[in-house]
Amino acid sequence: MPTSNQPEVLRLAVIGGSGLYRLGLGPVIATHQIATPWAAQPVCVIEEQTAAGNVLFLPRHGEHHTLAPHRINYRANVGALQTLGATHVIAINAVGGISPGMIPGRLVLPDQVIDYSYGRDHTFFTEQHSLAHHIDFTNPFDLLLRERLAASIKLARMEYRIGGVYGCTQGPRLETAAEIRRLYRDGCDIVGMTGMPEAALARELGLRYAMLALVVNRAAGMGVGDITLDDIKAVLQQGVDGIRVVLGHCSTLLLAS
Ligand code: HPA
Protein backbone atom coordinates (compact mmCIF):
# COMPACT_ATOMS: atom_id res chain seq x y z
CA MET A 1 0.00 0.00 0.00
CA PRO A 2 1.25 3.55 -0.68
CA THR A 3 2.25 5.61 2.33
CA SER A 4 0.00 8.54 3.18
CA ASN A 5 2.25 11.28 1.75
CA GLN A 6 2.57 9.64 -1.66
CA PRO A 7 -0.11 10.13 -4.33
CA GLU A 8 -1.96 6.92 -5.06
CA VAL A 9 -0.80 5.30 -8.30
CA LEU A 10 -3.92 3.84 -9.81
CA ARG A 11 -3.55 0.29 -11.08
CA LEU A 12 -6.77 -1.14 -12.49
CA ALA A 13 -7.79 -4.78 -12.43
CA VAL A 14 -10.89 -6.45 -13.82
CA ILE A 15 -12.18 -9.76 -12.48
CA GLY A 16 -14.09 -11.52 -15.24
CA GLY A 17 -17.00 -13.85 -14.53
CA SER A 18 -19.01 -16.22 -16.70
CA GLY A 19 -18.81 -15.19 -20.36
CA LEU A 20 -15.92 -12.74 -19.95
CA TYR A 21 -12.81 -14.87 -20.31
CA ARG A 22 -10.62 -12.31 -22.01
CA LEU A 23 -10.58 -8.56 -21.55
CA GLY A 24 -9.88 -7.65 -25.17
CA LEU A 25 -9.13 -3.94 -24.63
CA GLY A 26 -5.64 -4.10 -26.13
CA PRO A 27 -2.66 -6.33 -26.81
CA VAL A 28 -1.62 -8.79 -24.11
CA ILE A 29 1.76 -7.72 -22.77
CA ALA A 30 2.18 -10.29 -19.99
CA THR A 31 0.61 -13.44 -18.61
CA HIS A 32 1.43 -13.54 -14.91
CA GLN A 33 1.35 -16.76 -12.92
CA ILE A 34 1.23 -15.60 -9.31
CA ALA A 35 2.03 -18.01 -6.49
CA THR A 36 0.11 -17.31 -3.27
CA PRO A 37 0.05 -18.86 0.22
CA TRP A 38 -3.62 -19.76 -0.28
CA ALA A 39 -3.48 -22.13 -3.23
CA ALA A 40 -1.25 -24.90 -4.54
CA GLN A 41 -1.68 -23.61 -8.07
CA PRO A 42 -0.58 -20.14 -9.20
CA VAL A 43 -3.23 -17.61 -10.19
CA CYS A 44 -3.25 -16.56 -13.84
CA VAL A 45 -3.55 -12.82 -14.43
CA ILE A 46 -3.33 -11.35 -17.91
CA GLU A 47 -2.04 -7.83 -18.43
CA GLU A 48 -3.22 -5.81 -21.40
CA GLN A 49 -1.96 -2.52 -22.75
CA THR A 50 -4.49 0.21 -23.51
CA ALA A 51 -3.94 3.76 -24.71
CA ALA A 52 -4.65 5.03 -21.18
CA GLY A 53 -2.45 2.50 -19.36
CA ASN A 54 -2.14 -1.17 -18.53
CA VAL A 55 -5.07 -3.17 -17.17
CA LEU A 56 -4.90 -6.48 -15.30
CA PHE A 57 -7.46 -9.18 -16.02
CA LEU A 58 -8.19 -12.13 -13.75
CA PRO A 59 -10.58 -14.84 -14.98
CA ARG A 60 -12.42 -15.65 -11.74
CA HIS A 61 -13.25 -19.22 -12.69
CA GLY A 62 -9.61 -20.04 -13.46
CA GLU A 63 -7.47 -19.97 -16.56
CA HIS A 64 -9.55 -22.74 -18.16
CA HIS A 65 -12.92 -21.58 -16.76
CA THR A 66 -13.35 -24.81 -14.82
CA LEU A 67 -13.97 -23.68 -11.22
CA ALA A 68 -17.58 -23.61 -9.97
CA PRO A 69 -18.48 -20.63 -7.73
CA HIS A 70 -18.08 -22.57 -4.45
CA ARG A 71 -14.67 -23.93 -5.55
CA ILE A 72 -13.08 -20.63 -6.55
CA ASN A 73 -10.15 -19.70 -4.33
CA TYR A 74 -11.21 -16.13 -3.66
CA ARG A 75 -8.30 -15.43 -1.31
CA ALA A 76 -5.73 -16.54 -3.87
CA ASN A 77 -7.41 -14.42 -6.58
CA VAL A 78 -7.63 -11.23 -4.52
CA GLY A 79 -4.17 -11.79 -3.02
CA ALA A 80 -2.66 -12.21 -6.50
CA LEU A 81 -4.12 -8.88 -7.59
CA GLN A 82 -2.59 -7.18 -4.56
CA THR A 83 0.78 -8.78 -5.35
CA LEU A 84 0.59 -7.24 -8.82
CA GLY A 85 -0.06 -3.83 -7.28
CA ALA A 86 -3.76 -3.51 -8.13
CA THR A 87 -5.44 -0.60 -6.35
CA HIS A 88 -8.86 -0.61 -8.05
CA VAL A 89 -10.89 -3.69 -8.96
CA ILE A 90 -13.95 -3.90 -11.19
CA ALA A 91 -15.77 -7.20 -10.76
CA ILE A 92 -17.99 -8.47 -13.56
CA ASN A 93 -20.82 -10.74 -12.41
CA ALA A 94 -23.62 -12.48 -14.30
CA VAL A 95 -26.78 -12.38 -12.18
CA GLY A 96 -30.42 -13.36 -12.07
CA GLY A 97 -32.94 -10.53 -11.87
CA ILE A 98 -35.33 -10.58 -8.91
CA SER A 99 -37.06 -7.21 -8.55
CA PRO A 100 -39.19 -5.76 -11.36
CA GLY A 101 -37.08 -4.08 -14.00
CA MET A 102 -34.15 -6.42 -13.49
CA ILE A 103 -34.59 -7.91 -16.92
CA PRO A 104 -32.07 -9.84 -19.05
CA GLY A 105 -29.52 -7.57 -20.73
CA ARG A 106 -29.67 -4.85 -18.05
CA LEU A 107 -26.48 -3.68 -16.37
CA VAL A 108 -26.66 -3.03 -12.64
CA LEU A 109 -24.31 -1.18 -10.30
CA PRO A 110 -25.36 -2.63 -6.94
CA ASP A 111 -24.64 -0.71 -3.77
CA GLN A 112 -25.36 -3.41 -1.19
CA VAL A 113 -24.79 -7.10 -0.56
CA ILE A 114 -26.47 -9.85 1.44
CA ASP A 115 -24.28 -12.92 1.75
CA TYR A 116 -26.04 -16.30 1.81
CA SER A 117 -22.93 -18.29 0.86
CA TYR A 118 -21.29 -20.63 3.35
CA GLY A 119 -18.19 -22.74 3.84
CA ARG A 120 -15.96 -20.47 1.76
CA ASP A 121 -12.61 -19.17 3.00
CA HIS A 122 -13.89 -15.66 3.56
CA THR A 123 -11.13 -13.78 5.40
CA PHE A 124 -7.39 -13.17 5.34
CA PHE A 125 -7.45 -12.81 9.13
CA THR A 126 -6.79 -16.32 10.33
CA GLU A 127 -4.28 -15.57 13.09
CA GLN A 128 -4.79 -14.13 16.54
CA HIS A 129 -7.88 -11.97 16.99
CA SER A 130 -7.50 -8.19 16.81
CA LEU A 131 -10.04 -5.38 16.69
CA ALA A 132 -8.40 -4.28 13.42
CA HIS A 133 -9.84 -7.38 11.80
CA HIS A 134 -13.38 -6.03 11.96
CA ILE A 135 -13.27 -4.10 8.70
CA ASP A 136 -16.00 -1.58 8.00
CA PHE A 137 -18.27 -2.96 5.29
CA THR A 138 -21.24 -0.59 5.62
CA ASN A 139 -20.88 0.29 1.95
CA PRO A 140 -19.30 -2.72 0.25
CA PHE A 141 -18.64 -1.01 -3.09
CA ASP A 142 -16.33 1.91 -3.81
CA LEU A 143 -18.16 5.16 -4.61
CA LEU A 144 -15.58 6.59 -7.04
CA LEU A 145 -15.47 3.39 -9.06
CA ARG A 146 -19.27 3.23 -9.16
CA GLU A 147 -19.43 6.84 -10.38
CA ARG A 148 -16.90 6.15 -13.13
CA LEU A 149 -18.74 2.99 -14.12
CA ALA A 150 -22.06 4.86 -14.29
CA ALA A 151 -20.49 7.53 -16.51
CA SER A 152 -19.03 4.80 -18.74
CA ILE A 153 -22.37 3.00 -19.11
CA LYS A 154 -23.97 6.30 -20.14
CA LEU A 155 -21.24 6.79 -22.76
CA ALA A 156 -21.92 3.26 -24.03
CA ARG A 157 -25.66 4.07 -24.15
CA MET A 158 -26.64 0.89 -22.38
CA GLU A 159 -29.66 0.11 -20.19
CA TYR A 160 -28.67 0.22 -16.56
CA ARG A 161 -29.80 0.65 -13.02
CA ILE A 162 -27.76 2.38 -10.35
CA GLY A 163 -28.13 0.85 -6.92
CA GLY A 164 -29.61 -2.41 -5.77
CA VAL A 165 -28.96 -5.24 -3.39
CA TYR A 166 -26.93 -8.21 -4.58
CA GLY A 167 -27.71 -11.52 -2.87
CA CYS A 168 -24.90 -14.06 -3.00
CA THR A 169 -26.04 -17.68 -2.95
CA GLN A 170 -23.87 -20.75 -2.68
CA GLY A 171 -24.60 -22.55 -5.93
CA PRO A 172 -23.71 -24.22 -8.08
CA ARG A 173 -27.39 -25.01 -8.55
CA LEU A 174 -29.78 -22.18 -9.26
CA GLU A 175 -32.30 -21.32 -6.55
CA THR A 176 -35.81 -22.60 -5.97
CA ALA A 177 -38.72 -20.21 -6.54
CA ALA A 178 -39.31 -20.12 -2.75
CA GLU A 179 -35.68 -19.21 -2.11
CA ILE A 180 -35.94 -16.35 -4.57
CA ARG A 181 -39.20 -15.14 -2.94
CA ARG A 182 -37.31 -15.12 0.36
CA LEU A 183 -34.44 -13.14 -1.17
CA TYR A 184 -36.98 -10.66 -2.55
CA ARG A 185 -38.57 -10.28 0.89
CA ASP A 186 -35.07 -9.69 2.27
CA GLY A 187 -34.65 -6.83 -0.20
CA CYS A 188 -32.45 -8.45 -2.84
CA ASP A 189 -32.77 -7.06 -6.37
CA ILE A 190 -30.35 -9.43 -8.08
CA VAL A 191 -28.81 -12.80 -7.26
CA GLY A 192 -25.45 -14.33 -8.11
CA MET A 193 -22.97 -16.81 -6.71
CA THR A 194 -19.56 -15.14 -6.89
CA GLY A 195 -19.75 -11.67 -5.34
CA MET A 196 -18.79 -12.93 -1.90
CA PRO A 197 -16.41 -13.32 -0.21
CA GLU A 198 -14.56 -11.59 -3.06
CA ALA A 199 -15.80 -8.07 -2.20
CA ALA A 200 -15.01 -8.45 1.51
CA LEU A 201 -11.55 -9.86 0.85
CA ALA A 202 -10.77 -6.89 -1.40
CA ARG A 203 -11.83 -4.57 1.43
CA GLU A 204 -9.61 -6.45 3.89
CA LEU A 205 -6.62 -5.74 1.63
CA GLY A 206 -7.60 -2.10 1.12
CA LEU A 207 -8.42 -2.50 -2.58
CA ARG A 208 -11.12 -0.27 -4.04
CA TYR A 209 -13.74 -2.62 -5.47
CA ALA A 210 -17.03 -2.29 -7.33
CA MET A 211 -19.34 -4.72 -9.08
CA LEU A 212 -20.73 -4.35 -12.59
CA ALA A 213 -23.48 -6.96 -12.89
CA LEU A 214 -25.21 -8.16 -16.03
CA VAL A 215 -28.69 -9.63 -15.65
CA VAL A 216 -28.72 -12.82 -17.74
CA ASN A 217 -32.05 -14.33 -16.65
CA ARG A 218 -35.08 -13.66 -14.52
CA ALA A 219 -34.43 -15.48 -11.24
CA ALA A 220 -36.31 -18.69 -10.43
CA GLY A 221 -40.07 -18.17 -10.39
CA MET A 222 -39.79 -14.51 -11.46
CA GLY A 223 -39.99 -15.17 -15.18
CA VAL A 224 -41.95 -17.44 -17.48
CA GLY A 225 -41.09 -21.14 -17.20
CA ASP A 226 -37.80 -22.72 -16.20
CA ILE A 227 -34.39 -21.10 -16.62
CA THR A 228 -32.51 -22.49 -19.60
CA LEU A 229 -28.78 -22.39 -20.19
CA ASP A 230 -29.34 -21.55 -23.87
CA ASP A 231 -31.26 -18.39 -22.94
CA ILE A 232 -28.52 -17.37 -20.49
CA LYS A 233 -25.78 -17.96 -23.05
CA ALA A 234 -27.56 -15.83 -25.65
CA VAL A 235 -27.85 -12.88 -23.23
CA LEU A 236 -24.26 -13.34 -22.05
CA GLN A 237 -22.89 -13.25 -25.58
CA GLN A 238 -24.53 -9.92 -26.36
CA GLY A 239 -24.01 -8.46 -22.89
CA VAL A 240 -20.31 -9.19 -22.78
CA ASP A 241 -19.73 -7.10 -25.90
CA GLY A 242 -21.41 -4.17 -24.16
CA ILE A 243 -19.43 -4.75 -20.98
CA ARG A 244 -16.20 -4.52 -23.01
CA VAL A 245 -17.27 -1.13 -24.35
CA VAL A 246 -18.08 0.03 -20.80
CA LEU A 247 -14.74 -1.24 -19.50
CA GLY A 248 -12.94 0.56 -22.32
CA HIS A 249 -14.57 3.87 -21.36
CA CYS A 250 -14.06 3.24 -17.66
CA SER A 251 -10.36 2.40 -17.94
CA THR A 252 -9.84 5.60 -19.93
CA LEU A 253 -11.75 7.69 -17.37
CA LEU A 254 -9.84 6.16 -14.48
CA LEU A 255 -6.34 5.91 -15.90
CA ALA A 256 -6.26 9.19 -17.82
CA SER A 257 -7.46 11.33 -14.90
N1 HPA B 1 -29.09 -17.26 -9.61
C2 HPA B 1 -27.83 -17.28 -9.12
N3 HPA B 1 -26.77 -16.95 -9.84
C4 HPA B 1 -26.97 -16.59 -11.12
C5 HPA B 1 -28.25 -16.55 -11.69
C6 HPA B 1 -29.37 -16.91 -10.89
O7 HPA B 1 -30.54 -16.90 -11.33
N8 HPA B 1 -28.10 -16.17 -12.98
C9 HPA B 1 -26.76 -15.96 -13.17
N10 HPA B 1 -26.08 -16.22 -12.05
Single-letter amino acid code for the residue at 200? A
| CA neighbours closer than 13 Å in the CB half-sphere of residue 208 | 15
Q: Is the pLDDT of residue 7 over 50?
A: yes
Whether domain 12-121+138-255 has CATH 2.50.20.10: no
| Residues with C-beta less than 6 Å from any ligand 1 atom | 94-96, 169, 174-175, 191-193, 216-217, 219
What span, in angstroms and rounded, lies between the C-alpha atoms of 19 and 35? Answer: 25
The pLDDT value recorded for residue 234 is: 94
Q: Is the pLDDT of residue 1 over 50?
A: no
* Nearest atom within ligand 1 for CA of residue 227: 7
Name the residue at shortest CA distance from atom 2 of ligand 1.
Answer: 192
CB atoms within 10 A of CB 68: 11
Q: Average pLDDT of 213-242?
A: 95
The domains of the chain are located at 12-121+138-255
Q: Judge whether 142 and 209 are in contact, CB under 8 Å.
A: yes
Q: Which of the listed residues 20, 60, 176, 217 should we mutate to test ligand 1's pocket, taking the one with most ligand atoms within 8 A of CB?
A: 217
Taking the centre of ligand 1 as the mean of its atom positions, its distance from the CA of residue 109, in whole angstroms, is 16
What span, in angstroms and rounded, lies between the C-alpha atoms of 169 and 115? Answer: 7
Q: Is the pLDDT of residue 2 over 50?
A: no
Q: Is the pLDDT of residue 11 over 80?
A: yes
Name the residue at shortest CA distance from atom 7 of ligand 1.
Answer: 96
Name the residue at shortest CA distance from atom 3 of ligand 1.
Answer: 192
Taking the centre of ligand 1 as the mean of its atom positions, its distance from the CA of residue 243, in whole angstroms, is 18
Q: Average pLDDT of 51-69?
A: 91
pLDDT band at residue 4 using 50, 70 and 90 as cut-offs? very low
More confident residue, 6 or 114: 114
pLDDT tens figures, 180-210 = 999 999 999 999 999 999 999 999 999 999 9
pTM of the model: 0.95
What span, in angstroms and rounded, lies between the C-alpha atoms of 69 and 89? Answer: 19
Q: Is the pLDDT of residue 120 over 80?
A: yes
Taking the centre of ligand 1 as the mean of its atom positions, its distance from the CA of residue 219, in whole angstroms, is 7
Name the residue at shortest CA distance from atom 5 of ligand 1.
Answer: 96
Taking the centre of ligand 1 as the mean of its atom positions, its distance from the CA of residue 232, in whole angstroms, is 9
What span, in angstroms and rounded, lies between the C-alpha atoms of 175 and 132? Answer: 36
Lowest mean pLDDT among 109-113, 205-209, 237-241: 237-241
Contacts of 147 (CB under 8 A, 6+ apart): none
Name the residue at shortest CA distance from atom 6 of ligand 1.
Answer: 96
Q: Which of the listed residues 108, 191, 236 should we mutate to test ligand 1's pocket, taking the one with most ligand atoms within 8 A of CB?
A: 191
Mean pLDDT of the chain: 93
Taking the centre of ligand 1 as the mean of its atom positions, its distance from the CA of residue 129, in whole angstroms, is 35
* Nearest atom within ligand 1 for CA of residue 217: 8
Taking the centre of ligand 1 as the mean of its atom positions, its distance from the CA of residue 177, in whole angstroms, is 12
Taking the centre of ligand 1 as the mean of its atom positions, its distance from the CA of residue 94, in whole angstroms, is 7
